[in-house]
Amino acid sequence: MLKVPANGAEIQEVDGVRYLIAKLDAQKKTCRDFLEELRKGNPVVVPCSKRAQLTGLLKKESVFTRQKTVVSGQWVSFFPCEAREFKP
């Protein structure tokens, strides 16, 4: 059974399927808050309105992530990953 995390987001596995579970209180957090969570190795879910700003900050700080749209036009997830080349 999936459980809502107390803070932030976490990956939970049920019957071999991995789910990203997040408490969507992201409107109150800044991109710096999200950056710190990603540096700790935690996935984050952000409003689409913060996607571009966070992406720019991640590139500037050399923090590598993978992005996936959770809800089109509303929420985007960022997952920490190994160092890689950015697309030009």
The 3-state DSSP class for residue 11 equals strand
The alpha carbon torsion through 56, 9, 65, 57 (nearest 10 deg) reads: 20
CA atoms of 71 and 81, how far apart (whole Å): 21
Domain ranges of the chain: 9-80
Q: Output the pLDDT for position 20.
A: 80
pLDDT tens over the chain, length 88 residues:
777 777 667 788 889 988 888 766 656 788 898 899 899 988 888 888 889 999 999 999 989 999 998 878 888 889 999 887 766 6
The predicted structure's pLDDT at residue 78: 92
Phi (first) and psi of residue 2, to 5 degrees: -80, 145
